[in-house]
């Protein structure tokens, strides 16, 4: 069985292998309209992002045996996870959800809630009946690579949620070797190719 300490260490390695925020960088590369984070770059941002990440892992670990009964329960669970991840990092009054378009073909802001709702419906079924590795892979692909619903922390939230799926089956999360390779594959691969790549890690 994976211990809490082992799981936390593995998740930190996964997230830190890709996240610029946990390295103290306010990343606005996804769109010129994306606001800078409210926390000063560097050590202040590292401290805030790291503190949020620890709280998020605690939340997931404590709820690793939770039984969801509806897609609304799933959405509330993911929204709360995303809220923890971005706590204190968004500008005052900024929505939890992305309000700008991205240059990567991700869901238009006007369609985010519809696509996010469909994702939650799929996740409710897949969490209980699907192959956990394939489910975790598609969680990251849909939530980060395709819908990208949140104003900040889509990558961290999707990786945490995928790690949560695997944890429920006593499987450690994947660790990505290269950030560039991750974004190249997650944006352009078919579901089958992405799952195969994810499984190889």
CATH number for the domain spanning 137: value is 1.10.3290.10
Boundaries of domain holding 130 = 4-200
How many Å is the Cα radius of gyration of the chain?
16
- Residue pair 198/188 in contact (Cβ under 8 Å)? The answer is no
56-97 per-position pLDDT tens digit: 999 999 999 999 999 999 999 999 999 999 999 999 999 999
pTM: 0.96
Confidence (pLDDT) at 30: 65
pLDDT higher than 80, residue 198: yes
Confidence (pLDDT) at 179: 86
Mean pLDDT of the chain: 94
Confidence (pLDDT) at 107: 96
* Partner residues linked to 150 by β-bridges: 97
Q: H helices of 110-190, where?
A: 112-129, 132-140, 154-167, 179-188
Confidence (pLDDT) at 94: 95
Confidence (pLDDT) at 157: 98
19-56 per-position pLDDT tens digit: 999 999 987 776 678 888 999 999 999 999 999 999 99
Confidence (pLDDT) at 103: 87
The number of distinct structural domains making up the chain is 1
Region of residue 153 (phi > 0: left; psi between -120 and 50: alpha; otherwise: beta): left
Confidence (pLDDT) at 16: 92
Q: What share of the chain has pLDDT > 70, as a percent?
A: 99
């Amino acid at each position: 069985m994976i211990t809490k300490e082992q799981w936390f260490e593995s998740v930190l390695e996964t997230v830190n292998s890709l996240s610029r925020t946990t390295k103290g960088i306010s990343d606005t590369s996804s769109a010129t309209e994306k606001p800078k984070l409210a926390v000063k770059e560097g050590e202040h941002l590292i401290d805030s992002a790291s503190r949020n990440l620890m709280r998020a892992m605690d939340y997931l670990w404590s709820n690793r045996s939770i039984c969801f009964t509806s897609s609304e329960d799933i959405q509330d669970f993911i929204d709360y996870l995303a809220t923890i991840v971005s706590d204190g990092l968004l500008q005052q009054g900024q929505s939890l959800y992305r309000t700008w378009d991205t240059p990567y073909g991700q869901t238009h802001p006007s369609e985010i809630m519809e696509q996010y709702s469909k994702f939650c419906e799929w996740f409710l079924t897949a969490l209980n009946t699907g192959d956990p590795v394939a489910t975790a892979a598609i969680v990251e692909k849909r939530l980060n690579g395709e819908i990208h619903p949140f104003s900040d922390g889509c990558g961290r939230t999707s990786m945490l949620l995928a790690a949560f799926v695997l944890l429920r089956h006593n499987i450690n999360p994947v660790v990505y070797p290269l950030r560039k390779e991750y974004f190249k594959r997650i944006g352009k691969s078919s579901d089958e190719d992405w799952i195969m790549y994810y499984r190889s890690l």
